[in-house]
Chains A and B, each alone.
Chain A
Amino acid sequence: MNDDLNDLKAMMDDATPRPDAARRAENLALAQKNFENLQGSRQTARPTPVTEAKGLWTGVKTMLNTFTSKAALTTTTALVACGFLFLTPQGQDLLSQNGGGDNLAGDLELATAEARRDRTLGNDDVTEQVAVVPPSIAGGLVDATEEVAPAPAAPIITEPQRNPAAVNPKPSEFSGKTANATPEAAQDDQVVSSLGAGELDIAVAEEEASQPPATGLAQTTSDRRNTTGLVQLHGNAAPQEAAPQSGAQVGAVISRVPDVIIQPAQPNTESFPTEAPNDLKITGEEPVSTFSIDVDTAAYSVVRSSLTRGQLPPPQAVRIEELINYFPYDYPAPDAGEPPFRPTISTFQTPWNADTQLVHIALQGAMPALDDRPPLNLVFLIDTSGSMDDPTKLPLLKQSFRLMLDQLRPEDEVAIVEYAGSAGQVLAPTPASERTTILQAIQSLGAGGSTNGQGGLQQAYAVAETMKEDGQINRVILATDGDFNVGLSNPDALKDFIADKRDSGTYLSVLGFGRGNLDDATMQALAQNGNGTAAYIDTLSEAQKVLVDQLTGALFPIAGDVKVQVEFNPAQIAEYRLIGYETRSLNREDFNNDKVDAGELGAGHAVTAIYEVTPTGSPAQLSDPLRYAPNTVAASSDELGYVKLRYKEPGEATSQLIETPIIGQSTPGTEANFAAAIAGFGQLLRDDSYLGDWGYDDAIALANANRGEDAFGYRTEAVQLMRLAQSLSR
């Protein structure tokens, strides 16, 4: 470009006005609205028009009108094939092998009976019509259903009922649901025409009568983040009716079948545990704090995935202890002959408050000799439901498992179970030396259908049982996006189910994939109650970290049910607050009860817990001392508190105790400082009410100054994320 054009460009740049802010917002909103509309029309299945003219002769006439010789040939062949299927014993055998068709037909008859009985949304015509469809077509329907499943609002989806206890069909609830769907359905002539006019009136009347459920649903759809509570919201009552999302897309006719499933309309049904951040405790009132260790790392990866997508993570997704424990720390390791892990406790000044102190409790697990490690029996339990059909889910999963396969030894065994609408074994237990067979089995996996997580878990544990031998380690590795929509799907019910299984001695690892319908709450519940760990894999490098670098720690437990109990000395400490570990808190009496489950520590794992404590008389004390409180401060001691740890050797039933006092202030090392920086970062993301003026700049400076060796760049990446979060939160 020469000078002429440079002048011109300068002039042009000066002349160009700023876009009008109001118009800008308006245009952006318009674009977004069009985008949503377009998504809707692209995704929604079109209802099949119900033709008015019915009867045998209409069909024959149409057939004759459209006959060409080719079509005639096809039709007659099809007729003969049908005749073969239904009229000969061989054909009947084929049909009963397929199975699905019969089940469905049974269900449809049931449906018809139901529909006649209570006539809530009868639509008898359609149901009857479907019920007399020959089983071959009914079989086709089953296929079609599975294919349509990922798309929202498939017109009618039936599924053989597997767990009657979980479904609680109350007519009133159902009518609320119906009413909710109907106004939207009214936008579509064809759907309306398939409803009887009288029934439409009933539905509309019910809509007015049943406002509460409708508004409840509307609220959950209004905000992406709000949907996080969805699973809890529906609770036991309707776990399968997961999320009728934004109205325009619920264009389905729902027949009165006892186990109707409405597929989630939009894939953003993420749910995270809802525990509130730990609040400040007053030592005089509650001197003892008890929790279980947590070696999961899922929260950090979820935070990273959110930030790199340009969004701040939902506050509930930020579990600070998992952020801190994501990083490898260089804590002193136990010597031979000592307990399997070694606690290191230090106290130093809080970075964000000059008048309080941090008590930093670090546990470093021993790294046993790897050469004579016991053989592993691994069952890969892989979610192949429709929701896994995404570049960051199933394909990433396949690559991750390939990475991991290289780490296994010839004497290890691998089995693969997949689950979608039903569970099936893809690969019988195979020695890891037969690499090609295993790789082929992994490659053959494809996504489609609903998600019967419970069925899959049952089968995986059954397979693990058959592989069990003395001196070997059994582990089920569940890879999923957490979206369980068949069978048990709420975290509490899964908890009980898994708690039964862990007594069999089989461990569980949960690997989360993908965003959009990530059910973090369920994955947490599974990992915590199934003697396992949860990790979230968003990139191949994360797979490398979890499944290659830290595979040993992830797969070999060195201590089970590790619990921490800290008693603070009221003479020294006025108030204390545990940072993170909200989902891991235990009751005071649980500490000595060996029946109560807690977290497992893997080989070489490090666990960090941080308390913020306020010394007595410090200006930072938030609560006033009681005027009439009894003077309970006994003999004065220099100790700030006393830490007790309980753990079980793997496979043992009774726990052992380690005790150590917390003594006065010391200078923090690099590792402790970095942990403090991450704790501060987590609080900035989640709840910064205790941080005062301390902000991202300080967190970045502190983390940067304490990166240590950082051979793999994890800490550098953390600093990048802090910077990104800083920009995004402005």
Chain B
Amino acid sequence: MRMTTSDEDLAEAAATGDGAAFASLLDRHYDRLFAFCFRLTGARAEAEDLTQDICAALPAKLASYQKRAKVTTWLYRVAVNAAHDRRRKRATYAKATEGWGDWETNRTAANRDTHEQIDWLTAAMNQLTDDLRDTLALVLDDMTHAQAADILGVSEGTISWRISEAKKALRAIKEKEDVA
């Protein structure tokens, strides 16, 4: 609770070149942005890197901000797109290092056993497809289905369907683990 100026006014001021407004805006939203990045990536280091990517690119994205949109909506859209870019890069990288990948998978599997408690959720989320994962991250962040639809650029029905799919998948994972 730092000030009364609305996010939208700050963003507009920032878009017209007010450095102080931009600093205030980012400062306000940084923690939330980071938490969201963590949900998208599921690992602390990854989340830090993703947040850095977003911070670095945000000034250039400001031009795309339009006053009628809510700042959080716009910010989440930027975050989701950045996460997509990062995954794409990662996929290319993974292809290039496929042979080495098996060893790496074994190593991460061993790691996972050590902090199973915390990792169950992120691991489970990692097994979801990217779309389901993005949707779930948004909805878990107190977004309504309508807002999530706006951010991801799909219809509200799609969001509801994805959520139920995600729930199904998570339940399946859980059952499998309970059996094992």
For B134-151 the 0/1 string (1 means CB < 8 A from A) is 000001100000000000
For B8-25 the 0/1 string (1 means CB < 8 A from A) is 000000100111111110
Which A residues are CB-close (under 8 A) to B4?
308, 310, 724
CB-based contact B48/A31 at 8 Å: no
Given contacts A28-B26, A31-B26, A309-B5, contact A23 B60 (CB under 8 A): no
Cβ contact of A19, chosen from B31, B59, B167, cutoff 8 A: B31
Which A residues are CB-close (under 8 A) to B60?
34, 38
For B43-54 the 0/1 string (1 means CB < 8 A from A) is 010001001100
Interface size class of A (residues with CB under 8 A): 35 or more
Given contacts A308-B3, A728-B3, contact A31 B58 (CB under 8 A): yes
Cβ contact of B30, chosen from A12, A15, A16, A24, cutoff 8 A: A24
CB-based contact A8/B19 at 8 Å: no
Q: Which residue of A lies closest to B13 (CB)?
A: A309
A1 on the B face (CB < 8 A): yes
CB-based contact B118/A27 at 8 Å: no
Given contacts A30-B52, A39-B19, A728-B3, contact A17 B38 (CB under 8 A): yes
For B145-180 the 0/1 string (1 means CB < 8 A from A) is 000000000000000000100010011000000000
B27 on the A face (CB < 8 A): yes
* Chain A, interface SS category: helix
Which B residues are CB-close (under 8 A) to A38?
59-60
A593 on the B face (CB < 8 A): no
Cβ contact of B51, chosen from A27, A34, A36, A310, cutoff 8 A: A27
For A3-22 the 0/1 string (1 means CB < 8 A from B) is 01100110110011111100
Given contacts A16-B38, A19-B34, contact A28 B27 (CB under 8 A): yes
Which B residues are CB-close (under 8 A) to A42?
17
B89 on the A face (CB < 8 A): no
CB-based contact A35/B1 at 8 Å: no
Number of chain B residues close to chain A: CB under 8 A? 42
B82 on the A face (CB < 8 A): no
B25 to chain A, nearest CB (A): 10
CB-based contact B48/A19 at 8 Å: yes
Given contacts A5-B140, A310-B24, contact A15 B121 (CB under 8 A): yes
CB-based contact A724/B19 at 8 Å: no
Cα separation A64 to B61 with both chains bound (whole Å): 43
Which A residues are CB-close (under 8 A) to B48?
19-20, 23
CB-based contact B19/A1 at 8 Å: no
Which A residues are CB-close (under 8 A) to B1?
727
Q: Which residue of A lies closest to B23 (CB)?
A: A32
CB-based contact B140/A724 at 8 Å: no
CB-based contact B59/A34 at 8 Å: yes
CB-based contact A5/B167 at 8 Å: yes
B122 on the A face (CB < 8 A): yes
Q: Which residue of A lies closest to B39 (CB)?
A: A12
15 A-B residue contacts at CB 8 Å?
A8-B121, A8-B170, A9-B140, A17-B44, A19-B48, A27-B55, A27-B56, A28-B30, A34-B58, A36-B19, A38-B60, A308-B3, A310-B3, A311-B20, A516-B18
Q: Give the 9 A-B residue pairs with the shortest CB-CB distance, closest first.
A: A310-B3, A35-B59, A31-B55, A19-B34, A27-B55, A34-B59, A38-B59, A9-B140, A16-B35
